[in-house]
Amino acid sequence: MARTAGSKPPNIIVYITDEQRCDCMGAYGNEVIQTPNMDRLAARGTRFNNLFSQFPLCGPSRACFITGQYPQAHNVYFNGVPLQAHSPRLPRALQARGYRTAQVGLYNVEPREGHYHGFDIFRHQEREYPKWAAERGVTDIYPYGGRKRPADYYGKVDYPAEYHAASWVAETAMEVLDQVRDGPFFLEINERYPHLPYVAPPPYDTMYDPEEVPIAPSVRRDREDFQAIREMHAIYYGMISLVDHNFGRILDKVEDLGLLENTIIVFTTDHGDMLGHHDLWSKWALYDDDARLPFIISHPGHVPAGTVLDGLAEQIDMMPTLLEMADAEIPRGVQGTSLVPMINGQSVGKDAVFAYQGYGEYPDRIRKRRQMVRTREWKLIHMPGAESLLFNVAEDPCEMHNRHDDPACAEVLKTLKDRLLRWNLEAVDTTIPSLFIPGESEEAKAWIRHYLDPVC
């Protein structure tokens, strides 16, 4: 993956969907869903089978991506919590390398100001899409009440797909590509869908027959609403196919501009969706349903085509991977490790991955706090004050059989709890001045200046 001296740094496009299950893509083995463009990228790139979110909730997850840090370091524990001024940021690091940086879509890392995070161009969906849609006669842009409705609400919208927010994201991203085509550029595209509520415009609302959509065993067949869950899955599939169509428009634009050969393209998501599995909705659970992410990376001549990697990796590894591929400096405080050795066949991945779910110091919600450690064979979801979960994921991939209280698993449980404890001790932010070694007082002073300046 080495670059020749004086060669132009690669352009970088990162396309992030919202709440997309890893098993809802043709490239990941789903034979029903139609995702030809996601599959196209997988065919010419490398696909990771076991990459996990460190905090499966929109804002905290994207904070993990942009900083390369665990939640204990970036301290974003809920949507709407601002990112610390001193936290490392992928766009800033690329700006220092000479990149022009841009963001298109729903950006939910607070504060929602481009300059704060290092974006030269900042096209925010919530600011621009309502007006764009209204000009086309669409006023109900969040159908069925949006966030005011239950997590399991589903249905359809009565306006055409070309007026959907996913279409605005694609059109705006293509506009930005025209602006930055001379490169090198970094374009982060944040797609809001298939985030709930489960609603899709025609023809995507009827694209799938509920009876033909596969439902995993982790959804109880004796539920009174099982048929509704089938219909919900069908709509969810339609939403993903709508996103795929618009993702394909962006891929076509990259090719039309002649940028493909020198552009790294990443497809991923922030977290999955429970969709009634294990009697749960939305995310936050740390089952593979919501914690496991699709991650595909393509760069012709530098990343092997059609390759599948089964080793363990983490979302925080994406940032240092892209910086290494861009020959950019990795900032102090980044905790992820580059995936380049895995891509080159020089590493089998991590021996364990970790995740956190909770609301920081919110006493009324502390009961929901939980943490995860997952190896290739075992997974522990530790929940203080509640029933913790232990699964042999090698034998029980749907996580149906809790072995936490099984005496035969006592040693495994002890080992995983020890791993989780060590992770918590090591995952704190190591950039704070009190942790600097003696003799680095000037560095401490520089850190303080950086901390107080939110736009440096």
Pair (294, 145) in one structural domain: yes
328-347 residue pLDDT tens: 999 999 999 999 999 999 99
Compute how many other C-beta atoms are within 10 angstroms of the C-beta atom of residue 182: 9
* Percent of the chain predicted with pLDDT > 90: 70
pLDDT of residue 146: 44
Domain end, chosen from 318, 334, 350, is at 350
84-126 residue pLDDT tens: 888 999 999 999 999 999 999 998 888 878 888 999 999 999 8
User: Bigger pLDDT: 35 or 283?
Assistant: 35
Instruction: Supply the CATH number for residue 377's domain.
Output: 3.30.1120.10
273-290 residue pLDDT tens: 988 898 888 887 899 999
- Is 6 a member of any domain? no
305-333 residue pLDDT tens: 999 999 999 999 999 999 999 999 999 99
Q: Are 55 and 306 in contact (CB under 8 A)?
A: no
- Is 177 a member of any domain? yes
pLDDT of residue 152: 58
Pair (371, 279) in one structural domain: no
Pair (366, 279) in one structural domain: no
Pair (36, 154) in one structural domain: yes
Domain end, chosen from 297, 320, 350, is at 350
Q: Are 274 and 236 in contact (CB under 8 A)?
A: no
pLDDT of residue 141: 77
Pair (331, 361) in one structural domain: no
Pair (294, 362) in one structural domain: no
DSSP per-residue letters across 223-242: -TTHHHHHHHHHHHHHHHHH
- Is 427 a member of any domain? yes
Across 141-236, where does the E strand assignment appear? Answer: 154-156, 185-190, 198-200
Q: Are 193 and 15 in contact (CB under 8 A)?
A: no
CA distance 334 to 332: 6
**Length reported for the chain:** 456
Residue 2 pLDDT more than 60?
no
Sequence-separated (6 or more) residues with CB below 8 Å from residue 159 = 136, 137, 138, 201
- Taking CA atoms, 206 is separated from 199, 242, 358, in Å, by 11, 12, 37
The number of distinct structural domains making up the chain is: 2
Residue 364 pLDDT more than 80?
no
Pair (343, 221) in one structural domain: yes
- Is 110 a member of any domain? yes
Pair (412, 285) in one structural domain: no
CA distance 198 to 206: 13
How does residue 430 score in pLDDT terms, banded at 50, 70 and 90? low
CA distance 313 to 334: 15
pLDDT of residue 361: 43
- Is 1 a member of any domain? no
Instruction: Supply the CATH number for residue 183's domain.
Output: 3.40.720.10
How does residue 445 score in pLDDT terms, banded at 50, 70 and 90? low
Domain end, chosen from 298, 330, 350, is at 350
Pair (269, 325) in one structural domain: yes
pLDDT of residue 443: 55
- Taking CA atoms, 218 is separated from 24, 126, 150, 215, 229, in Å, by 15, 35, 21, 8, 12
CA 307 to chain centre: 20
- Taking CA atoms, 261 is separated from 85, 258, 301, in Å, by 35, 8, 8
157-191 residue pLDDT tens: 889 999 999 999 999 999 999 999 999 999 999 99
Q: What is the pTM of this model?
A: 0.91
Cis before 82? omega within 30: no
Pair (288, 423) in one structural domain: no
- Is 3 a member of any domain? no
Pair (345, 402) in one structural domain: no
- Is 4 a member of any domain? no
Phi, psi of 329 (to 5 degrees): -75, 135
How does residue 272 score in pLDDT terms, banded at 50, 70 and 90? very high
pLDDT of residue 436: 46
Domain that holds residue 210: 11-350
Pair (304, 425) in one structural domain: no
